[in-house]
Structure 1
Amino acid sequence: MLSRTADHLFWMARYTERAENTARMLDANYQMSLLPQSDEYAELGWRAMLSISELSGVYAAAHQGMKSHDVIEFMSRDLANPSSIVSCLRAARENARAVRGSITTELWETLNTTWLDCQRLLLDGILERDPYEFFEWVKFRSHLSRGVQLGTMVKDDAFYFMRLGTFIERADNTARILDVKFEMLEQRADTSAQSLDYYHWAAVLRSVSGFEVYRKVYRDVITPERVAGLLILNGDWPRSLAASMTEVGQIVERVTNGRSEATSRLAAQLSAELRSARVGDILAGGLHAYLVDFLARVNDLASRVSRDFLVPIAAETEAGAATQSQSQTRAAA
C-alpha cells in the first residue's frame, strides 16, 4: 500500500475516534455539572476536561473565565480548536475523501453523512437545546462508522491501518482521562466534595462506556483502585490500555516491513508489560508517573508508525496543529 494512502486511512480513523472521545468527556462533565456542588469544584471539572486534551492555554487565550457553555462550545464546534468535535469530523471526512477508492461506498457515505448532519444539527441549535443529545449522536455515528468498517471492508492493509489509528488514539485518550481525573481528586480543596466521589468515578467510567462493565466485573462499590485496574489492565474490555495495545501489537505485526522491526518490538513490549502488570504495583510506584511514561511511549510508537509506514511530513502536518499546544502545555507542566 502507498504510504500516503495508509497515512490518510490512519488519520481518518484517529480523528473519528478522537471526536467520539471528546464527546464522551464533554458528556461526563456536563452530567457532573448538573449535580449540587461548589462553583470551585465545578470549575475544576472543566479545567480537567481541557487538561486531558492539553488545550488549557489555547482556551485561555480566547476566553475569559471557565464557564461550562464556553468550554462546550470550544470543544464541540470551534474550528480554531483542532481537537473540537467539528474539526475532527471534518478532518476524518477529508482524509476519507482523499482515499475514496480504498474504502467501501458504505463507509464513505457514513463519514460524509456524519459531517453534513453535524453541521445541520449545530445550525438547528442542538448544543443550546440539549448538549446530551448531540454528544450521544456523535458517539452513535462513531460506532456506526466502525461497524460499517468491520462489516464491509476486506481485512487487508487498508483495514489494518484504520484499526491501528483507532487503537492508538483510544489508548492515548484512556490514559489521559485516568491521569487527569486522579490528579483532579488530589488537587481539590473542597472537602465537602468527598461525598461526590461515587458520582465522580461513575462519570469517569461512563465517559469510557465502563460503568456497566465495572458492575459486571466487580459487583461492588466503586473504588479508584478498581477503576484504574479496569481502565489499565482488563484485557477483555475493548477500551482498556491492555486491550488497545494488544490490538496495536497484532496489527503492527501484520503490516510489518523491512524497517519496522523496532516498532514491532516496542508494540509487543508495551502489550506484554500490560498483560503481566498488577494494579497494586502500579499504584505503589505512582499512577501519574506510570501514565506519563505510558503516554510518552505510545507517542513514540505513533511516531515510529508514521516513520515506518506513513508519510512522515504529512503525518506531522496532520498531527502538528493538534499537538503543538499539547506539547507546550505538557512541557510547562
Structure 2
Amino acid sequence: MLSRTAENLFWMARYMERAESTARLLTMGQRMAILPAATMRDEWRSVVRVTGCEDAFGKDAIIRESDIVEHLMLDPDNPASIRSCLARARQNGKSVRTALTQEMWESLNEGWRKLETYGVADARRDFAELVDWVKNRAMMFRGATESSHLRNEGHDFLRAGGALERAQMTLRLLDVKYYVLLPETEVVGGHRDHYQWTSVLHALSGSRAYHHVYGGSYSPWQITDFLMLNRQFPRSVLYCFDQLAYRLQRLAHWHGQRTPANLRGEEMVEALAQTSSGAIFEKGLHETIQSKIVQCNMLGQEIAEAYHFG
C-alpha cells in the first residue's frame, strides 16, 4: 500500500472519531454547566482547555455555551471543531476513494455540509439533535467499515487511527473532570461530584456497561478504573491500547518487519494492564492522564515515521 493511502485512511478514521468525541465532550460540558454556580467555576473553560483551544479565549473571559458552539462545533477555521473534522475526514476519503467501499463513501459524503447551514443561535437550539447527528455519522462510518471493508492492510490503518484517537479523547474527557473538580476539592464525594462523574460515563455511553460491572456503586476511583483499565468496554483506554497493539502487529506482518511503534504499543498495554485497582488515584489522576496522552502522541509520531506518512 502506498504511504499516502495509508496516511489518508489512518487520518480519516481519526477525524471521524475526533468529531464524535468532541460532540461527546460538548455533551458532558453542557451537563456540568447546568449545575448551580457553574458560571463561577467556568465549566466551559475546562472543555476548551483539554481540546487545546484555550488560547482562542481571553484569560479572564467567561466562556459561555454560545462561544463553545461557535468555536468547537461550527468554526471551519478551527482544526478541532466538529465541522472541520468532518470536512477533513471527507477530504481524506476523497483522496483514497478507490480504497473505500460505496457504503463507506456514502457515510462520509451524505449530509457532511449540514453544519454549514447553522448559525450559533440555531445550533444552540438544536444542540442535542446536532450532537446525536454527529455521533450517528461516526457510527455509520464505523458500521460501513466493519460490514463492507476487506480485512486487509488498509483496514488495519483505519482501525489503528480510530483506536488511537479514541484513547486520547477518553483521557481528555477524564481530564475535564479533573479541571472541573479543582476549585472545589472540599466537595469530593458530594452530590455535585457524583453528578459530574456520572456525566463522564454518560458522555462515553458507558453508564449501562459500568452498572453491569459495578452495580449501583458510583465512586470516582471505580469510574476511573472502568474507563482506564476495563478490557471489555470499547471506549476504555486499555481496550484501545489493546486494539492498537493488535493492529500494529498485523501491520508488522503485512510489511514483514516490526517497528518502534510495535514496541511502544506493547509497552503501553503492559504498563496499563499491570496497574492495580485504585492505583491511578493514588498516583494522581491528572499526572497519569498527561503521561498517557504524551505516550499516545509519541506513538502517533512513530506510526507516521514507520510507514512514511508525509
SS state at 2:17 partner: helix
* 1:94, distance to aligned residue in structure 2 (A): 0.2
Assess, with a 3 A threshold, how the Cα gap between structure 1 residues 260 and 303 changes in structure 2: closer, same or farther: farther
Name 2:296's counterpart in structure 1: 298
Q: Is the 8 A contact 1:59 1:74 kept in 2?
A: no
Q: After the TM superposition, which residues 103-252 of structure 1 pair with which residues of structure 2 at under 5 Å, given as runs?
A: 103-120=100-117, 122=118, 126-188=122-184, 194-252=190-248
Name 1:267's counterpart in structure 2: 265
* 1:49, distance to aligned residue in structure 2 (A): 0.6
* CA distance in structure 1 between the aligned counterparts of 2:111 and 2:273, rounded to whole angstroms: 36
* CA distance in structure 1 between the aligned counterparts of 2:14 and 2:122, rounded to whole angstroms: 25
Q: After the TM superposition, which residues 61-80 of structure 1 pair with which residues of structure 2 at under 5 Å, given as runs?
A: 65-80=62-77
* 1:117, distance to aligned residue in structure 2 (A): 3.4
Q: Which amino acid aligns with 2:88?
A: A
Q: Is the 8 A contact 1:228 1:279 kept in 2?
A: no
Name 1:17's counterpart in structure 2: 17
Assess, with a 3 A threshold, how the Cα gap between structure 1 residues 98 and 50 changes in structure 2: closer, same or farther: same
* CA distance in structure 2 between the aligned counterparts of 1:75 and 1:83, rounded to whole angstroms: 7
Q: Which amino acid aligns with 2:21?
A: N
Q: Note the alpha carbon deviations across 1:112-168, whole angstroms, 9 max, x for none.
A: 114133434x26974132201110110111111100110010000111101111000
Assess, with a 3 A threshold, how the Cα gap between structure 1 residues 27 and 252 changes in structure 2: closer, same or farther: same
Q: Is the 8 A contact 2:32 2:38 kept in 1?
A: no
* CA distance in structure 1 between the aligned counterparts of 2:155 and 2:122, rounded to whole angstroms: 33
Q: Is the 8 A contact 2:12 2:92 kept in 1?
A: yes
Name 1:27's counterpart in structure 2: 27
SS state at 2:218 partner: coil
* 1:64, distance to aligned residue in structure 2 (A): 5.1
Q: After the TM superposition, which residues 2-13 of structure 1 pair with which residues of structure 2 at under 5 Å, given as runs?
A: 2-13=2-13
Assess, with a 3 A threshold, how the Cα gap between structure 1 residues 267 and 189 changes in structure 2: closer, same or farther: closer
* CA distance in structure 1 between the aligned counterparts of 2:135 and 2:203, rounded to whole angstroms: 11
What do you get for the CA RMSD once the two structures are aligned?
2.2
Give structure 1 stretches of 5+ with no counterpart.
Answer: 315-333
Higher relative contact order (CA 8 A, sep 6+): 1
| TM-score (ref. length: structure 1) | 0.86
User: Could you tell which deviates more after superposition, 181-190 or 289-298?
Assistant: 181-190
User: Could you tell which deviates more after superposition, 198-207 or 19-28?
Assistant: 198-207
SS state at 2:205 partner: coil
Q: Is the 8 A contact 1:89 1:114 kept in 2?
A: no
| TM-score (ref. length: structure 2) | 0.93
Name 2:52's counterpart in structure 1: 54
Q: Is the 8 A contact 2:280 2:288 kept in 1?
A: yes
* 1:243, distance to aligned residue in structure 2 (A): 0.3
* CA distance in structure 2 between the aligned counterparts of 1:21 and 1:307, rounded to whole angstroms: 26
Q: Which amino acid aligns with 1:265?
A: L
Give structure 2 stretches of 5+ with no counterpart.
Answer: none
Q: Which amino acid aligns with 1:200?
A: Q
* 1:218, distance to aligned residue in structure 2 (A): 0.7
Assess, with a 3 A threshold, how the Cα gap between structure 1 residues 291 and 192 changes in structure 2: closer, same or farther: closer
* 1:202, distance to aligned residue in structure 2 (A): 1.3
* CA distance in structure 2 between the aligned counterparts of 1:204 and 1:178, rounded to whole angstroms: 7
User: Could you tell which deviates more after superposition, 131-140 or 271-280?
Assistant: 271-280
* CA distance in structure 2 between the aligned counterparts of 1:191 and 1:198, rounded to whole angstroms: 10
* CA distance in structure 2 between the aligned counterparts of 1:226 and 1:190, rounded to whole angstroms: 20
Name 2:307's counterpart in structure 1: 309
* CA distance in structure 1 between the aligned counterparts of 2:23 and 2:245, rounded to whole angstroms: 27
* CA distance in structure 2 between the aligned counterparts of 1:201 and 1:191, rounded to whole angstroms: 13
Identical amino acids, percent of aligned pairs: 31
Q: After the TM superposition, which residues 318-333 of structure 1 pair with which residues of structure 2 at under 5 Å, given as runs?
A: none
